[in-house]
Structure 1
Amino acid sequence: MLLLLPAVVFAVLYVVSRVRDARRLRNGVFLVAALGCLLVAGVLEVAATGPAQQSAVLLGVVFVGLLVVVLALFLLGNGVTMLRSEGRSLGNLLSLLAGVAILLVPVAAAVLVFGPDVVELPGPVGVVLVALGVLLVFVAGYAAATFAAFGLYSLVYSRYRHTRTPATVVVLGSGLIRGEVPPLLRSRLDKALSVYRSVPGTVARPLLVPSGGQGSDEPRAEGDAMAEYLLAQGADPADVRPETASTSTRENLLLSREVQRAAGRDGSTLVVTNDYHVLRAALLARSIGSDAQVVGSPTAAYYVPSAFLREYIAIMVEHRRLNAAAVLMLAGLVGLAVVWSLLPI
C-alpha cells in the first residue's frame, strides 16, 4: 500500500493545479500519475493476498495485452477509413502509422533485448543492441504516458461547462470545402449559436467572432463563410464580427482578441472548437495571456483518433525542448548502464 501515498500526493497536486488554472497540461500528468499509482497499488495488494489472486492479476495482464492488440487493429482500420474518407495526407495516415507502431515496437524491442547472444557477438555489440532495445522500451513508455496524460485530460477538460455569460464567443476556423462550411466546422458554429441563444433576453448577447483567414486552396476567407452561416441561422448582424487574417490557432486567438477590443466588448471570452482540439486551444490561450476558456463541439467518430494524434504531436512539438530533455535523460541512463556493464570489474 506504499504507492497509495504518491497517489494521494499526485491527486492533491492535480486538484490544486486544476483549481488555479484548468488550462495546464501538467494537470493531465498529475491525474495520470495519481491513477497509475492507485492502479499499481491495487494490483500489488490483490496479488499479495494469495495464489488465486495472483493468477487473476496474470489474467488481467494478458487481457490488457489483448486490448493493446485490439487497439492497434482498430487504429489500422481507422487509418484505412481516414484515407478513403478524407484523402491521402500525412495527417490522415497518423492512426494507421500508430497502429503499425503499437504492433512493431514491442516486437523490435524484444528482438533487440532477447535476440542477441552477447557471448557470441564481437566486443560490446551485444550489450549495445540490448541497450537499444531497453531505450526503445523507455521511449515508447514515455510516449504512451504523455499521450495518456494528454488524451485523458483532453476528455476531462472538454467537459468544461461555462458558468458566466461570455462577452465574446470566438469560433476557430478549420477549413472550407469549395468555399462552403463543411460539417466539422458547422458543428463549431452550431455550438457557438447554442451559447449565443442561451443568453436571456434581458442580458446583452455575446459578440460572435468567426475566425479564419483564406487558405491557398480556398476561394474566400473562412471567417467570411462562417459569418455568412451565423447570419443565415438568425444571429444579429450587429453581433457578428468576422476575423479573416489568421492562419493558425495562435493567430485565431490573438487577432480575435483585437476584434473584440475594437468592438468594445470587454469581458470574458469563450472559444469554441471541436472536442479533440479544446486542450491545445486552451494551452495556447493561456500562453498568450488570454483568460479565455474553451468548449468543444461534437466530431464524427471516425475522425477522432487521427485528430487526437495530430493534436498530441502538435503539443509535443510545441514542448520539444522539454521532451528532448526527457528523452536525452533516458538515453543518458541507458548509456551509463552500458558503460558500467563494460567496465572491467
Structure 2
Amino acid sequence: MLTLVLGLLFAGLFFASFQSDRRRLRNGVLLLVAAWFLLQAALDFLIDLNPWFEWLNLLVLVVPVVSIFVFAGFLIANGVTMVRREGPGITSFLPIAVGLAVFLAPVIAFLFVLSGQPVLTGMAALAFFLCAYLGSAFVVFLGYAVVYSRMRFSPNPAAVIVLGSGLINGKVPPLLAARLNKALEIYDGGSRAKPVLVPSGGQGPDEPRPESTAMKEYLVAKGAAASDVLEENQATTTRENLAYSVALLAEKGIEGPVLVCTNNYHVLRAALLSRRQKINAEVVGAPTARYFVPSAFLREFVAVMRDNRLTNIILCLPMFGIALLITVALMNSPVV
C-alpha cells in the first residue's frame, strides 16, 4: 500500500510540474520515481494474489544488471559503426570509451575490494555511488528526452527557429537538412498565416560561409518564400542560436508562439536552455540516422551534466563523505 501511495504521490507531482513547465529536467526525475514505485506496487499486488509471482522480484533485480552490460556491448558496436561511417574522431570513439568503462568499472572495483586495502575499498565504494548516480541520471535524461520529443505543440507558431549544425564544403549536410525539412513541414502545414523561418548559425573557422546563408538557400529552394526567411548569422552555440534569434524577432516586431527546430537527440537540451534563458519557446525534433543517435545522446548527456555542474557537485558531495567514512572505519577496524 505504501508503494502505491508513493507512486501516486510522485505521479501527481510529475503532472503538476509538467503542467507548470514541461521544459524541466526534474519532470524526468519525478516520472522515473513514480514509475518505480508504481511498478513495485503492481508487483506487491501480484504477489498477494499468488506467491508464484515472487520470482518477478528477482527479475526486477537481474534485468537492470544484465541491461547495463548489454547496453555497454551495444555502445561498443555502435562506436565501431561510427568509426566506419564517420571516420576516427572524438564523437566516433565516445561510445567505445563509455562501453569499455561500463564493462571495466565493476571488475576494477571488485579487485579493489579483494585487495583488502581500506583506501582502495573506499575508492571502490565511491566508484559504485558515482556510477549509480550517473546511470540514474542518464536514464532520467534519456527517458524524458524521448517523452519530450513526442509531445505535440502549437501547429501555428509565429516563428520557427532552426538551429544550425555545421556545413560540409559549404553545403547543407543530411543532419541539418532534416531540421530544415521539419521546419518546412511546420511552415507548410499550419494556417494561411505562414510562420517566419529563422535559420540560425554563424560562420565557423572551417566553413566558407555562414550556416544561415546555406540554410536560407535550402529553405527557399524547397518552396519557402524568401520574404518569410529571416537569417541570424552570428550564433556559434545553441545558447546564442536561441538568444540572437529571439532578439532578431523582437527587433522585427514579430510576436507570438515560437518553435525551435533541431534533431530529436538535441530536443531536450535545447528546451532546457530556452527555459534557462527565459525564452518562451518549445522545441520539436527531426529524425536522425539511427547509427548516429547513441553517440549524439551521450554527448548531449555530458553537456547537460556540465550545464548543471553545481547541482551535480552538491548531490555527489555526500557520496564522497560516505566513501571517506568507509575508508576511515576500515582503517580503524582490527579485522583489516
TM-score (norm 2): 0.93
Q: Please name the residue that 2:73 is paired with.
A: 73
Matches within 5 A, 1:162-241: 162-201=153-192, 204-241=193-230
Deviation readout 1:63-83 (Å, 9 max, x if unpaired): 443333222111111001111
Q: Name the SS of the counterpart of 1:296 in structure 2.
A: strand
1:250 aligns with 2:239: yes
Q: Please name the residue that 1:153 is paired with.
A: 144
Q: Please name the residue that 2:261 is paired with.
A: 272
Q: Please name the residue that 2:276 is paired with.
A: 287
Q: Please name the residue that 1:259 is paired with.
A: 248
For residues 280 and 328 of structure 1, do their structure 2 counterparts lie closer, same or farther at Cα, with a shift above 3 Å needed? same
| Pairing partner for 1:317 from 287, 290, 306 | 306
1:21 aligns with 2:10: no
Query: What amino acid sits opposite 1:265 in the alignment?
Result: I
Query: What amino acid sits opposite 2:86 in the alignment?
Result: E
- Structure 1 residue 142 displacement after superposition: 0.2
Q: Please name the residue that 2:82 is paired with.
A: 82
For residues 314 and 256 of structure 1, do their structure 2 counterparts lie closer, same or farther at Cα, with a shift above 3 Å needed? same
Following the alignment from structure 1 to structure 2, what is the Cα–Cα distance between the partners of residues 209 and 59? 50
- Structure 1 residue 2 displacement after superposition: 2.5
- Gaps of at least 5 residues in structure 1 are 119-125
Following the alignment from structure 2 to structure 1, what is the Cα–Cα distance between the partners of residues 225 and 78? 41
Q: Is the 8 A contact 2:261 2:283 kept in 1?
A: yes
Q: Name the SS of the counterpart of 1:3 in structure 2.
A: helix
| Pairing partner for 2:288 from 286, 296, 299 | 299
- Structure 1 residue 287 displacement after superposition: 1.1
Q: Name the SS of the counterpart of 1:286 in structure 2.
A: helix
- More moved, 100-109 vs 330-339: 330-339
For residues 235 and 317 of structure 1, do their structure 2 counterparts lie closer, same or farther at Cα, with a shift above 3 Å needed? same
TM-score (norm 1): 0.91
What is the root-mean-square deviation in Å for CA atoms of aligned residues? Answer: 2.0
Following the alignment from structure 1 to structure 2, what is the Cα–Cα distance between the partners of residues 60 and 152? 18
Q: Name the SS of the counterpart of 1:24 in structure 2.
A: coil
Q: Is the 8 A contact 1:48 1:54 kept in 2?
A: no
Following the alignment from structure 1 to structure 2, what is the Cα–Cα distance between the partners of residues 86 and 14? 39
Deviation readout 1:319-343 (Å, 9 max, x if unpaired): 1111112222211122223334555
Q: Name the SS of the counterpart of 2:278 in structure 1.
A: coil
Q: Is the 8 A contact 1:77 1:96 kept in 2?
A: yes
Q: Name the SS of the counterpart of 1:272 in structure 2.
A: strand
Following the alignment from structure 1 to structure 2, what is the Cα–Cα distance between the partners of residues 300 and 30? 30
Following the alignment from structure 1 to structure 2, what is the Cα–Cα distance between the partners of residues 335 and 50? 44
Following the alignment from structure 2 to structure 1, what is the Cα–Cα distance between the partners of residues 284 and 59? 40
Matches within 5 A, 1:2-13: 2-13=2-13
Q: Is the 8 A contact 2:156 2:191 kept in 1?
A: no
Q: Name the SS of the counterpart of 2:2 in structure 1.
A: coil
- Structure 1 residue 262 displacement after superposition: 2.5
Following the alignment from structure 1 to structure 2, what is the Cα–Cα distance between the partners of residues 99 and 48? 40
Q: Is the 8 A contact 2:155 2:190 kept in 1?
A: no
Deviation readout 1:82-123 (Å, 9 max, x if unpaired): 11211222222221112112211122222223x12x4xxxxx
State how many pairs are aligned: 334
Deviation readout 1:226-247 (Å, 9 max, x if unpaired): 0000000111111001111100
Q: Name the SS of the counterpart of 1:214 in structure 2.
A: coil
For residues 50 and 103 of structure 1, do their structure 2 counterparts lie closer, same or farther at Cα, with a shift above 3 Å needed? farther
For residues 13 and 137 of structure 1, do their structure 2 counterparts lie closer, same or farther at Cα, with a shift above 3 Å needed? same
For residues 169 and 343 of structure 1, do their structure 2 counterparts lie closer, same or farther at Cα, with a shift above 3 Å needed? same
Following the alignment from structure 1 to structure 2, what is the Cα–Cα distance between the partners of residues 47 and 72? 33
1:333 aligns with 2:322: yes
Q: Is the 8 A contact 1:138 1:330 kept in 2?
A: yes
Following the alignment from structure 1 to structure 2, what is the Cα–Cα distance between the partners of residues 100 and 40? 32
